[in-house]
Structure 1
Amino acid sequence: MAIERHAGLQQIVCDCGVSQKRSYQADEFDVMVADARADGWSIQRVAGEWTHTCPDCRESARAKPQGRLL
């Protein structure tokens, strides 16, 4: 889950290898994040680190049962 940069362009990439449909200029960071969220990506800060999760992985995480103490 990272933002990859190459040749002056950037895009968000999930751990599974899926990346955003388009690449963005460095000055379009806010647009890139807004587009990702509009496309169903989850972008959040967890334990001080930013996570970027694609829509498919996001849905898979929701479908997994959560452990409970009681």
Structure 2
Amino acid sequence: MSIEKHAGLQQIVCECGAAQRRTYQADEFDVMVSDARGEGFVIAKVAGEWTHTCQDCAAPGRKQRRLL
């Protein structure tokens, strides 16, 4: 549930390890978020922290691990 950065590129990654299909430059943040939502990621603020959950983990009936 994070944005991982490596060699000047970044991508959204779910806690289960599922990642976006492509990587993005720092100035493409809005495009990265839009693409992630298009791929089925659920991006929400939970207990004051941003979470990034893939489509499979966000499926109804699937138990998600949360801090609060």
Normalising by structure 1, report the TM-score: 0.85
Task: Give the Cα separation in 1 of the matches to 2:56 and 2:48.
Answer: 24
Secondary structure of 1:19's match?
coil
Between the two proteins, the alignment pairs up a number of residues equal to 63
Which residues in structure 2 correspond to 1:10-29 (within 5 Å)?
10-29=10-29
Which has more radius of gyration? 1
Give unpaired runs (5+ residues) of structure 1: 66-70
Query: Match of 2:66?
Result: none
Query: Match of 2:61?
Result: 63
Give unpaired runs (5+ residues) of structure 2: 64-68
Query: Which structure dedicates a bigger proportion of its chain to helix?
Result: 1
Render the CA deviation track for 1:3-32: whole Å, top value 9, x for unaligned.
Answer: 000000000000001100000000000000
Normalising by structure 2, report the TM-score: 0.88
Query: Match of 1:68?
Result: none
Q: Which runs of 4+ in 1 moved over 6 A?
A: none
